[in-house]
Structure 1
Amino acid sequence: MKKYRPVGLPSFFVLALGLLFFQGSSLRTDFGETGQPADDERNAGKVGIGRPAAGDTAQWAFPCDRKTIERYTAYRTTKPPVIDGKLDEEMWTKIPRSPRFVDLVSGNKTIHDTRAAVCWDNDNLYIAFWVEEPFINAKLTNHNDPIYTDNDVEVFVAGKDTYYEFEINSFGTLYEAFFIWKDAYEKGGFDKNPLFALANPKVKPFNGVGFKNHPRGLRYGSWDFRFPGLQSAVHIDGTINNNQDRDRRWTVELAFPWKGMEWIARADNRALPPRNNDRWRIDFSRFNTYKEAAPSDDHGGWAWNSHRVWDSHVPECFPIITFSNKTL
């Protein structure tokens, strides 16, 4: 916010301006006026993500450590993958993988290796998971069963006023939900869409899981949303639901069409597909029905970026994905 230096104004007016400035500046978030995270390189001298500018005394209102939020560059692919879950295309051998996932709450090392990778083209956002699992199990088979009670992997894609939640288990069963911050619900036109209307029995108020004091307050969740054109597949390197042998891993391959992200992108009019160097907030996590034995501090939820709280619904804690036009 631009600072004003009134000259010759009454003292009470100066005081009022000062109070307004303080109220507008006291809480730090990483979604700016455009909804995109602040860009350190393109906005030299301004406050960026994770690296506060000199003299920055704004309060950070979120549970994660803003200095350690993960960053990743998503490169373009010239040949789209076949969405079969096998991850055997050459592109997946060239594209950098994430660091090993850490405990969602503590940030500690986890017992099994989990990694993700991202690439894109003009049509789709592509995401892959490599999930080490010695005993691969699943039980849920219906769309929007509570997949989080199976072993699963999850993706959250955030916009300025919304975010989308995706989950998949090793059967390939999906869970989807779409969340809208209450303060943007009517002004963003979400109330006019039957998928998000409060009269829809699959639309409910939502206040987070473990972080119930988010500065933006309440949000509405729609469990009637289906991501248009989504492709997903799972491949098992082992034998599912047979604990008499030892499995290796399961892999997940996803394609999210950019045109299906209209409701994510509309609040800040972000480009679909992204422009070169655009930045998005996308979360990647894994949840298990088991925990490693003590003294390990295993919470059963692991993620690319620790949230430092048992809650995936904190967009400000999502990794920062930069989309590059470079191909590998």
Structure 2
Amino acid sequence: MKSAIPEPMIQTYSPNRYLCQKTSEKPELDGRLDKPFWEQAPWSEDFVDIEGEMKPLPHKQTRVKMLWDDEYFYFGAELIEDEIWATLTERDSVIFHDNDFEIFIDPDGDTHHYYEFEINALNTVWDLLLIKPYRDGGPSVNGWDISGMKTAVHIDGELNAPDQMQKNHKWTVEVAMPWKILKECARDGRPPKSGEFWRVNFSRVQWQVEVKNGQYVKKINPETAKPYPEDNWVWSPQGVINMHYPELWGYVFFTDTKNQPLPMIPEDEEKKWQLRKIYYWERNYYAEHDTFTTDISKELQQQLPVDWEIETTSRTFIASVKSTDGQKRIYIREDGKVWEESTK
């Protein structure tokens, strides 16, 4: 039986947006973001708590930059930090057991077949492919690698040296991911074109630490005898403590045109969000009744386009709405996958 899932506490659908400029420069990755290569890229918004406005703003700043060329998708991240530490050195370790920086990429925005990347201050990485979100029964492919990826970390301070904490300012990250790998899950199996967008989000995992015997160690909650839960700070808020809700990731628009204004989120993306509300409703109805239903609540129906439709069996459902231009229908099914079909 499918279990219930939390519905994100999102008042309006407004994921963050970023205009990613195409570059003709080829950087030497050293983890530093103060080189000319990055001057052409704007900073993102500062990260917020993963739950968004429900929680206070993070007490340490995090922000990112992005660029692209014909070979790579480039990321630069700045994490302000006075406690710089890391322990994991083996690739594909569970990096979020350390403080880390994470990248999530869904190339075609269908919420299936997407990428997760994590890196710590030792430049140790974990990259994996998600077939579906965990909520939908999707396995992760831990043995999948971003072959040809380049990464670098720069420490502005001293790593794993609490006695030198006064020297610590931040750690910065550079990542270059090759399109030849990222295109595997992209629309038409290709890199993006100027004017297109991919769904992307970023997360910073931050643990509470203290100094014992000259080392940073996680603070233990005396009530549970376990470390206090980590903070999750993100670029585009999720409204729920779970990064694996790709429908809430930000929009990265690719451009090869200078001085282009930041595009608005297409109207069809709002329609997909309305379909997603049906998905949340159906998933949680199923968890309680062991069947799907066409009897959607009146409250939800008032939020949906007038042309919405749904077909159900006891174990499946497909809901749809007409695209803004009327040339397609947009669909969602019981495992959360979204797709479009021409009506011509």
TM range (shorter): 0.5 to 0.7
Root-mean-square deviation over aligned CA pairs? 2.3
The whole-number CA distance in structure 2 between the counterparts of 1:229 and 1:315 is: 25
The whole-number CA distance in structure 2 between the counterparts of 1:79 and 1:285 is: 27
CA shift in 2, pair 1:147/1:310, >3 Å: same
One-letter amino acid of the structure 2 residue matched with residue 98 of structure 1 = S
The whole-number CA distance in structure 1 between the counterparts of 2:40 and 2:69 is: 16
Aligned to 1:220: 139
Aligned to 2:105: 157
Aligned to 2:247: 316
How many Å apart are 1:145 and its aligned residue?
1.3
How many Å apart are 1:240 and its aligned residue?
0.4
Task: Say yes or no: does 1:104 pair with 2:50.
Answer: yes
Query: Is contact 2:116-2:127 (8 Å) kept?
Result: yes
Query: Could you say what secondary structure the match of 1:226 adopts?
Result: coil
The whole-number CA distance in structure 1 between the counterparts of 2:8 and 2:158 is: 41
CA shift in 2, pair 1:278/1:305, >3 Å: same
Query: Is contact 1:104-1:310 (8 Å) kept?
Result: yes
Query: Could you say what secondary structure the match of 1:67 adopts?
Result: coil
- Return the match for 1:89 from 13, 16, 35: 35
- Return the match for 1:166 from 109, 117, 122: 117
Task: Report 1 or 2 for greater relative contact order, CA contacts < 8 Å, sequence distance ≥ 6.
Answer: 1
Aligned to 2:177: 256
Task: Say yes or no: does 1:117 pair with 2:48.
Answer: no
How many Å apart are 1:263 and its aligned residue?
2.2
Query: Is contact 1:162-1:179 (8 Å) kept?
Result: yes
- Return the match for 2:199 from 281, 285, 291: 281
The whole-number CA distance in structure 2 between the counterparts of 1:65 and 1:85 is: 37
**How many positions carry a matched residue from both structures?**
230
Query: Is contact 2:98-2:207 (8 Å) kept?
Result: yes
How many Å apart are 1:100 and its aligned residue?
0.7
Query: Could you say what secondary structure the match of 2:131 adopts?
Result: strand
**CA offsets 1:222-261 (integer angstroms, 9 cap, x no match):** 0001101100000000000111122000000000010111
The whole-number CA distance in structure 2 between the counterparts of 1:66 and 1:257 is: 34
Query: Is contact 1:104-1:299 (8 Å) kept?
Result: no
The whole-number CA distance in structure 1 between the counterparts of 2:160 and 2:248 is: 34
How many Å apart are 1:327 and its aligned residue?
4.6
The whole-number CA distance in structure 2 between the counterparts of 1:92 and 1:83 is: 11
The whole-number CA distance in structure 2 between the counterparts of 1:66 and 1:81 is: 39
How many Å apart are 1:146 and its aligned residue?
1.4
CA shift in 2, pair 1:98/1:65, >3 Å: farther
Aligned to 1:186: none
Query: Is contact 1:77-1:327 (8 Å) kept?
Result: no
Query: Is contact 1:62-1:316 (8 Å) kept?
Result: no
The whole-number CA distance in structure 2 between the counterparts of 1:96 and 1:148 is: 27
By percentage of residues, which structure has more strand? Answer: 2
Consecutive unaligned residues of structure 1, counting only runs of 5 or more, are 1-60, 182-205
The whole-number CA distance in structure 1 between the counterparts of 2:162 and 2:104 is: 31
**CA offsets 1:130-186 (integer angstroms, 9 cap, x no match):** 0100110111110111110100000011133311100000000001111113xxxxx
